[in-house]
């Protein structure tokens, strides 16, 4: 296994360290779940960050810099994204901060490693659930040490579809017809409040699909690697290939094509804007 001239041993070393860091930071996050003192709004009053997010990111960055000083590191709390994501760590210290603040268990530490703009390594640790997901490009995806795979469900009425509800009214109105269609056709439509875990649940076969408009790539970087290594498919809502610059995401088990539903339900001119 080799990616961009990087041998498998180098990636395996990074995977092992990412797993160790995710566990350590996850334990810190869980320890402080009932002692949050300060909450700040970021892009909107419902897009929030706590002092625990900031400290968790600082700990991840410190450890990655210590072991891999030549690598670039970018995190949710880092500001504007980079233009080049090669040999780059992408981290989200707590994906699902609102859940974390309210004591809900659906949040995770997310760490991904990019080569050539593609996530080749993904680690997700949900400390409140004691679930560790990881994937390495070409080596498969795993949950608590056991190999996982997407479900074999082919029928929408037997499927659970997950979404991340948009933070803006405009984006919600764009997706409302899709939500209406899916609610009438699938077994259930769910939102866990964590894109990372939503994708992880597709990867391990608990759910069949995930869709979101207005996605932040640091939320989904590790999850994309998980889904693809578990045998699933990740696209933009329009059906175009997903990349780190995409602002929409549609993941599935590969047997149910949610992008086809998007193209069926929405006008062509709207679909064309769903990047």
DSSP string, 67-87: H-TTSEEEEGGG-SPPS--SS
Are residues 165 and 39 located together in one domain of the fold?
A: no
Are residues 114 and 161 located together in one domain of the fold?
A: no
Cα–Cα distance measured from residue 248 to residue 257, given in angstroms and rounded to the nearest whole number: 15
Q: What is the pLDDT at residue 40?
A: 60
Residue 97, both tokens: 């901060």
Are residues 163 and 265 located together in one domain of the fold?
A: yes
Instruction: Tell me the whole-structure pTM to 2 decimals.
Output: 0.92
Per-residue pLDDT for 138 more than 60?
yes
DSSP string, 80-137: SPPS--SSEEEEEEEETHHHHHTT-S--EEEEEEEETTEEEEEEEEETTTTEEEEEET
Sheet-wide strand order for 72-75: 72-75, 88-95, 108-115, 118-126, 131-136, 140-143, 146-148
More confident residue, 269 or 49: 269
Are residues 120 and 64 located together in one domain of the fold?
A: yes
pLDDT digits (tens, 9 = 90+) for 39-56: 665 555 444 557 888 899
Q: What is the pLDDT at residue 9?
A: 87
Which range of residues forms the domain containing residue 108? Answer: 2-148
The last residue of a domain, from among 120, 148, 176: 148
Cα–Cα distance measured from residue 68 to residue 241, given in angstroms and rounded to the nearest whole number: 30
- pLDDT averaged over every residue in the chain: 90
Please give the angle made by the CA atoms of 74, 192 and 55, to the nearest 5 degrees: 35
Cβ distance 50 to 36 under 8 Å?
yes
Give the three-state DSSP class for 148. strand
Residue 171, both tokens: 């984006």
Domain containing 240 — which CATH number? 3.40.190.80
Cα–Cα distance measured from residue 81 to residue 95, given in angstroms and rounded to the nearest whole number: 17
Are residues 243 and 129 located together in one domain of the fold?
A: no
The last residue of a domain, from among 118, 148, 178: 148
Are residues 161 and 137 located together in one domain of the fold?
A: no
Q: What is the pLDDT at residue 90?
A: 96
Has 92 been labeled as part of a binding site? yes
Q: What is the pLDDT at residue 68?
A: 96
Mean pLDDT within 250-257: 97
pLDDT digits (tens, 9 = 90+) for 167-184: 788 888 989 999 999 999
Are residues 115 and 201 located together in one domain of the fold?
A: no
Are residues 122 and 183 located together in one domain of the fold?
A: no
Per-residue pLDDT for 160 more than 90?
yes
The last residue of a domain, from among 148, 176, 195: 148
Are residues 142 and 6 located together in one domain of the fold?
A: yes
The packing angle between helices 169-185 and 258-265, to 10°, is: 110
Number of domains in the chain: 2
Cα–Cα distance measured from residue 241 to residue 230, given in angstroms and rounded to the nearest whole number: 18
Has 47 been labeled as part of a binding site? no
Are residues 76 and 167 located together in one domain of the fold?
A: no
Q: What is the pLDDT at residue 148?
A: 99
Percent of the chain predicted with pLDDT > 90: 71
Domain containing 102 — which CATH number? 3.30.540.10
């Amino acid at each position: 296994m080799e990616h961009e001239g990087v041998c498998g041993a180098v990636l395996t070393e990074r995977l092992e360290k990412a797993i160790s860091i995710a566990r350590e930071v996850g334990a810190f996050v869980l320890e402080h779940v009932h002692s949050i003192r300060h909450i700040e709004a970021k892009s909107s009053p419902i897009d929030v960050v706590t002092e625990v997010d900031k400290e968790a990111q600082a700990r991840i960055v410190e450890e990655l810099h210590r072991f891999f000083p030549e690598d670039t590191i970018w995190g949710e709390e880092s500001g504007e994204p980079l233009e080049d994501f090669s040999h780059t760590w992408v981290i989200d210290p707590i994906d699902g901060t609102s859940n974390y603040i309210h004591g809900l268990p659906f949040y995770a530490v997310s760490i991904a490693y990019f080569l050539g703009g593609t996530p080749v390594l993904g680690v997700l640790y949900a400390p409140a659930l004691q679930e560790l997901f990881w994937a390495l490009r070409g080596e498969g995806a795993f949950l608590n040490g056991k190999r996982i795979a997407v479900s074999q469900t082919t029928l929408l009425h037997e499927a659970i579809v997950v979404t991340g509800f948009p933070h803006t009214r405009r984006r919600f109105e764009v997706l409302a017809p899709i939500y209406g269609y899916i609610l009438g056709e699938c077994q259930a439509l769910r939102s866990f409040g964590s894109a990372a875990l939503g994708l992880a649940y597709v990867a391990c076969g608990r759910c069949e699909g995930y869709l979101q408009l207005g996605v932040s790539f640091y939320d989904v970087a590790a999850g994309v690697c998980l889904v693809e290594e578990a045998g699933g498919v990740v696209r933009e809502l329009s059906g175009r290939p997903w990349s780190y610059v995409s602002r929409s995401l549609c993941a599935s088990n590969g047997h149910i094509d949610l992008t086809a539903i998007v193209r069926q339900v929405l006008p062509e001119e709207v679909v064309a804007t769903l990047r």
